[in-house]
Amino acid sequence: MAGGTPTADVTTEQANAITQACVQKAHELDLLMNIAVVDVGGNLKAFTRMDGAWLGSIDIAIKKARTARLFDMPSGDLGPMAQPGQPLYHIEFSNGGLITFPGGIPLANGNGQVVGAVGASGSTVDNDQAVARAGVSAFDSTSAQ
C-alpha cells in the first residue's frame, strides 16, 4: 500500500449499510430524514436525503456526524457544556460549525477505536437520535462479521 500506514476507517459497504438502516428506521417512524456518515477524518463518506426531507437539515446531519467524530462523543453530549456560562460556550462556532444537540453518534470498531460517525436530521432530536442509533446498530452488525 502506498502512502503510509493504513488507518482503521468506516468502509463504503458499512457506510451504505448505515444509511440504509437509518432510512428503514425513518420509514418505520414515518419521517423524512437526511443521513450523513463521516469517516475517521470527519470527511463525508455517505449521504442520503430522503425524498421531501428538509433542505435545511442537510447541513445539520453532516455537522452532527462531524461533531460526533471530532469529539468522539454523541453530539448531544456537548450541549450542556455549550450553554451560556458553561466552559464550552460558543464551541458550535469552531471547526467550521458544530451541532451540540442529539442526532450525531460516533462509530467505534470492535477495539473501541472511533472510525467515523453517523448524523441524522429532519425531525425532533429524539427522532433524529433514534434514526442515528439504527445506523449505529447496522454498523455494529457489519463490524462483527
> Per residue in 66-97, pLDDT tens?
999 999 999 999 999 999 999 999 999 999 99
Residue 7 is assigned to a structural domain of this protein: no
Within a domain: residue 1? Answer: no
Number of domains in the chain: 1
Whether the pLDDT of residue 114 is over 80: the answer is yes
Residue 111 sits in a domain of what CATH number?
3.30.450.150
End-to-end CA distance of the chain: 24
The DSSP code sequence of 109-126 is -TTS-EEEEEEEESS-HH
Q: Which one has a higher pLDDT value, 143 or 72?
A: 72
Ranges of beta strands (E only) in the chain are 34-38, 44-49, 104-108, 114-121
**2 found inside a domain:** no
The residue segments making up the domain with residue 18 are: 12-144
- Please give the Cα distance from 97 to 109 (Å, whole number): 26
